[in-house]
C-alpha cells in the first residue's frame, strides 16, 4: 500500500502498518520531513471502482456510436453507477472518474434520445402498415 506525506514524499508500507496508523496506536513518520503527516492515498475503493466503470462505460459508448449498437443501453446505467462511485472517491480519482462517467453519460443519453426520437418518428409516419 502506498502512502503520501503532505510534503509530497510517498512511501510503501504494509497493511498492518496502515492498520496501526489508522488506530492511532503507532504514528508513522515520514523519512523525508520527519513528521507524521502521512496521508493514505490507496484506500480509495469507490474512486478506483468509479474509474474502472468509467472506462468501461466510455468503451460501451464508443462501441455503440461506431456500430450504432445496443451497448449504448449498457453505457447509460454503467456511467450512472460509475459517476456515483466516483463521487464518493477522493482527489484526482474523483475528478477523473466523474469526467469519464459524465462524458459517457451525456453522449449515451444524447444518442439514445436521437434513436428514440427517430423511432417515434418512424412509428408515427408508418402507423401499422
| Radius of gyration, alpha carbons of the chain | 22
**In the stretch 35-74, what mask flags binding to Zn ion with x, by CB under 5 A?**
----------------------------------------
3 binds Zn ion (CB under 5 A): no
Q: Identify the sign of the CA torsion 45, 102, 70, 127.
A: positive
Task: State the cell numbers at 59.
Answer: 468503451
d(CA 79, CA 48): 14
Q: Judged by CB under 5 A, which of 7, 45, 70, 118 binds Zn ion? A: 7
Shortest distance (Å) from residue 41 CB to Zn ion: 13
d(CA 72, CA 63): 8
Q: Judged by CB under 5 A, which of 1, 22, 29, 33 binds Zn ion? A: 33
**Site residues, Zn ion (CB under 5 A):** 5, 7, 9, 30, 32-33
Amino acid at each position: 500500500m502506498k502512502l503520501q506525506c503532505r510534503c509530497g514524499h510517498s512511501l510503501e508500507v504494509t497493511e498492518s502498518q496502515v492498520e496501526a496508523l489508522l488506530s492511532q496506536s503507532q504514528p508513522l513518520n515520514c523519512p523525508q520531513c520527519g513528521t507524521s503527516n502521512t496521508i493514505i492515498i490507496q484506500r480509495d475503493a469507490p474512486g478506483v471502482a468509479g474509474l474502472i466503470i468509467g472506462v468501461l462505460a466510455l468503451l460501451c459508448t464508443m462501441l455503440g456510436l461506431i456500430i450504432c449498437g445496443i451497448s449504448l443501453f449498457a453505457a447509460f446505467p454503467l456511467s450512472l453507477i460509475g459517476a456515483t462511485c466516483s463521487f464518493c472517491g477522493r482527489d484526482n480519482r474523483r475528478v477523473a472518474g466523474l469526467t469519464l462517467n459524465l462524458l459517457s453519460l451525456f453522449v449515451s443519453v444524447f444518442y439514445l434520445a436521437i434513436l428514440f426520437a427517430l423511432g417515434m418518428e418512424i412509428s408515427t409516419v408508418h402507423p401499422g402498415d
